[in-house]
Amino acid sequence: MKKWLWVLLFALAWMLPQTAEAASSGQLIIINKSTNELAFFEKGELVRTFPVATGRTSELTPEGRFPIVNKIKNRPYYTDGIPGGDPRNPLGDRWLGLDARGTYGTTYAIHGNNNEQSVGKYVSAGCVRMHNRDIHWLFEQVKLNTDVIIVRSSRSFEELAKANGYQLLPPISVYVDGKKLSVNQEPFMKDNRVLVPMRSIFNALGATVAWNAKTKTVAATKDGRKIELTIDSKRAKIDGKTYMLDVAPTISGQQTFVPTRFVSEALGASVKWDGKKRIVSLLSPAKPAPQPDPATPAKTPIKVTVNGHQVEGDAFILDGVSMVPMRQIFEWLGVPFSYDAASATVRASHQGKSLTVSAGNSAAVINGAKTTLPQSPLIEAGRLYVPARVVTETFSGSIRWDGSTLHITVRQ
């Protein structure tokens, strides 16, 4: 009895560190039989996804939660006596055995294969097949006792992970020119690339989008540039030229998701990823400065202070004449006025003095006498601008110009 107890204790001691190792790594594998895809999670994040093959019929590949209980290189194919590592071996050269249906890793597994074309199909006797290059990568990453969840579902891998109690990192946020992108389905990481809902990102970047349901192709255009993407294809086009993507566009939760960096940079935006905060920041390309119209005189912005108060509203110099917003300067001077919108005419009177001016007309009436103004009043952005000196001289104010600071000071 004592000898049996020591053997049991030794076995438990050997198993516990491996269990702790798997738990500390935060690993999880999810296999979705509906799409024949495998997702590998680590430390709260979806790291990579792979195509797989599953059972010829639905019941052959078991569904549920099964730990990986053994990792074997070059496992022989006992049925036909094919040695491990032989190119004819239908198990490939890597075996991740699952504790499923009481077989403890001897019958059900994730493994390689000798027929690469079978991956993605329903062809196996119950195991999960992968491309040999993919199982090689996974074999090196995954720890013993990592849980494998096998389901048939229309939900995303992140949704499935959450539903099975896996602690994911905070959701990814996308900001465009400092404004958070509004989405009705969260962006997600796939193969170390952030994917975002197609229409949200293209609308935010000012691109128009066309979707071809037959070919499952997305076409986005902006400023004469055209981007073409196809669901589940890593080939993309920019203005007819083919480029290879790191990750293909995909459909999740009935929405089309596209790779953030590729589409953003293709449209001229810069991309920055903050891994700690899980924030993608996009900055739209700078718009070219508008070219001045030779027929339109140049204007120089200036500041205006009246009786110690800065006048709100733009003021500027036009052809050497300081133009100020009529309403603001009259209000600060305390001069009553009226404005006739039909004729764009201002009439102001104060302490026996009067001024009548009209937009687009250099003729004015000052204290009953007709006068020619140095610059015609004009309307811009709904405001009427008048020559500053005409107003101050009419209503006994002083005006001082500081050319070094482009500042007019008016006192009454």
The answer to whether 388 and 324 have CB atoms below 8 angstroms apart is yes
The answer to whether 110 and 97 have CB atoms below 8 angstroms apart is no
Q: Is-catalytic flag, 127?
A: yes
Q: Count how many Cα atoms sit within 13 Å of the Cα of residue 158 in the half-sphere of its side chain.
A: 18
Phi, psi (rounded to 5 degrees) for 158: -65, -40
Closest CA to 73 of 94, 97, 104, 98: 94
Burial of 371: CB neighbours in 10 Å, binned 0-12, 13-18, 19+? middle
The answer to whether 38 and 52 have CB atoms below 8 angstroms apart is yes
Rounded distance between C-alpha atoms, residue 42 and residue 137, angstroms: 14
Both tokens assigned to 169: 């990192």
> Per DSSP, what are the bridge partners of residue 355?
348, 366
Residues 6+ apart with CB under 8 A from 182: 200
Q: Which residues of 293-309 are buried (b: 16+ CB within 10 A; e: fewer)?
A: eeeeeebeebebebeee
**What residue spans of 131-271 are helical by DSSP H?**
132-141, 157-163, 198-204, 260-266
Active site (catalytic) residues: 111, 127
